[in-house]
Amino acid sequence: MNQQISLKITKGDKTRQRIIEMASALMAEKGPDAVSMREISAKLKITKPVLYYYFKDKDELIKASFIEGTKHFRELQAEISKPGLTLEQKLAKIFSNHVDFIKRYPNMPKCALKIMASPSNSVLNSMALELKEQNRENLTRILGEGTGKDGLSRSHADTVMHMISAVITHLMIEARQRGIDSLPKDLPQRMAKLIAAGVKNLKAALVIILLSPLLARAGALDLTVDGAVRTALKNNATVRTAEETRAIYKEKVTEYWGTVYPQLSASAQYTRNIESPVFFLGSAKVKMGLNNAYTAGLNLNQVLWAGGKVSTGIKMADLYSRASDEQLKTAQKEVSKDVKQVYYSVLLAKSMAGIQKESLDLARQHLDMIDAQYKQGVASDLEVLRQKVEVSNTEPALTQAQNLYEEGLIDLKNLLGLDPETDISLSGKFDCQAGPGEVTELYRQALMNRPEYRNQKYQLALYTEMIKIERAGHFPYLSAFASRQFQAQSESGFPGAAAQNWSTSAGLSLSLPLFSGGSITSRTKQAELQAEIARTNLAELERAVKIEVKKAWLSITEASERLASQTAAVEQARKALTATEVRFKNGLASQLELNDASLALNKSQTLYTQAQHDTCSADAQLKWTLGE
């Protein structure tokens, strides 16, 4: 009797272990959220009641998988708690233990990374952090145990734990990307020696710097929608160009202000008369000047009035600066909108891949059901063949959806200014809030907030000021000047005081244009025409903004209504499929009804997910049209 109980327990333990290993493998491949209990039972060829006998729900199964993945920590803690071990020996055992564990369970590290990459407010993430903190606290305590030079203070133990985390993360990343066998066999010992040496010589900061490349590779870049927008605004080339253009116009303000201030210049000249010039006085030839001539001057010029050119130029520079601000905002908002829409497209592709994966799993489960019925003599070989065709017809849709998801990730990385090989993970969801409001109020909001509309207003103001600049060519130009001059001559060497002379002069200069051949009038007319074009463009932009707002308002209204109508459809389709499966097993439903129910679920999920995507995409478009 006891032997039978022992055998049953052993068999149950093996089944439980098989379930955990399969769940870990699937979660490592697709992430915890994309794995269903139905899929796990299908892979193991066991019924769902058996699966629920061992685990009441998926969260409990995931927790069991995660705990299974951390069992080696308890073994490790017992091993490194033995007395007499140096810090280097403890570290070497920690790293070697992780390498051995990854070799035994290659799917566990990837599964752990997927769980830790789940949203921060999820149960899975909280569970992972809790277990991580427990193990971290135990290791910190063990590392602090010891005597003499091998004992660590709490602060030093915490520092070493940061370095241990970096190395372990590096091992997990390498195992995921290139395989654990790609690492040098002596890496645990070398890393342990490096860290121990740094602590021994009180140069832990240097060790952290040496380990910083490992910290930099500590997993995929986790991006929410807002995080993706921030990344794009920092890296996108269009935004950077707009920022540099703005800086140019900021400098133009300084340039124009320079014309307001006095212009001061200095000059100096030395002349050597190789053959001195002469002039004739009657028949006598008189030499002019000496062999060496020196001149120098300091000149000051200040514009007093130029027909308004100076003040208008400063005003125009300020307008250019403000226009460049609006151009930068336009680029930022355009990129923000594009990032959101591409992000939602990638989420859509990911969701569609999940839907197609579930459809394929359903088709395979139904094939297993029909095959079992065939073996019992209840179903025909033709029904088995039909279901195999159904499976084959479903597989290409999954492949296509997965490919669209990968291509979408590449497009998103390009928009974010990231390298195509950068590993990113999208943690955002379709959680947009519908409710666009009254369209007439949205018109007012858009015209008040759209940066390109404000920029067009500045363009009109610029051309209006340009008219003043050109008309100023008809007005007098008045300036003040002052000059201090030095002159000296000598036959040899620098002249003495007696041969030097200083002079000072000051005055006003007035220039009055009388005739320019009509060029000033022509330039003024050109500026007036440019201003008229800018006025027309502003009116057209106002009309275009209203059209964009109305289209976006219609899109989000339609998508929101479609989403509301599809919300209950998925659950109803799933219930219908479950009922049809039960009827089919009892011989009350046909294979055609079974496949129709599967198709209905696929269609309702697709329509619901598409409506979610369209609502979020339209929301991003509407916010852009409103200048948000």
In the numeric block, which tokens belong to residue 289?
């000047």
Count of structural domains, the chain: 1
347-361 confidence digits (pLDDT tens): 888 888 888 888 888
Judged by phi (left if over 0) then psi (alpha if -120 to 50, else beta), residue 125 lies in: alpha
What pLDDT is attached to residue 267?
Answer: 93
pLDDT band at 502; cut points 50, 70, 90: very high
Mean pLDDT of 209-221: 47
In a domain, 126, yes or no: yes
In a domain, 26, yes or no: yes
Phi, psi of 519 (to 5 degrees): -70, -40
pLDDT of 214 strictly over 50: no
pLDDT band at 483; cut points 50, 70, 90: very high
309-325 confidence digits (pLDDT tens): 777 777 887 888 788 88
What pLDDT is attached to residue 504?
Answer: 93
**β-strands 424-426, 221-223: how paired?**
parallel
Mean pLDDT of 269-290: 81
* DSSP β-bridge partners for residue 170: none
In a domain, 30, yes or no: yes
Mention every residue, 6+ apart, whose C-beta is less than 8 A from residue 388: 367
In a domain, 215, yes or no: yes
What pLDDT is attached to residue 459?
Answer: 86
| Predicted model pTM | 0.57
- Look at residues 31, 5, 18, 624 and name the one whose alpha carbon lies nearest to residue 329: 624
Mean pLDDT of 583-610: 86
pLDDT band at 265; cut points 50, 70, 90: very high
What pLDDT is attached to residue 31?
Answer: 63
- How far apart (Å, rounded) are the C-alpha atoms in residues 80 and 94? 8
pLDDT band at 482; cut points 50, 70, 90: very high
Mean pLDDT of 471-494: 86
pLDDT band at 203; cut points 50, 70, 90: very low
- Domain that includes residue 104, residue range: 2-220
Choose the most confident range, by mean pLDDT, from 76-80, 87-91, 256-260: 87-91
Q: How many other C-beta atoms are found inside a 10 Å radius of the C-beta of residue 71?
A: 11
Between 226-230, 253-257, 296-300, the lowest mean confidence (pLDDT) is in: 253-257
pLDDT of 28 strictly over 70: no
In a domain, 175, yes or no: yes
Q: Buried b / exposed e across 223-240, counting CB within 10 Å, b at 16+?
A: bebebbbebbbeebeebe
- How far apart (Å, rounded) are the C-alpha atoms in residues 423 and 403? 16
pLDDT of 601 strictly over 60: yes
pLDDT band at 69; cut points 50, 70, 90: low
In a domain, 202, yes or no: yes
In a domain, 525, yes or no: no
Beta-strand runs (E) in 319-439: 424-426
The CATH code of the domain that includes 147 is 1.10.357.10
pLDDT of 208 strictly over 80: no
Mean pLDDT of 330-354: 87
In a domain, 420, yes or no: no
Half-sphere exposure of 392 (CA within 13 A, CB side): 6
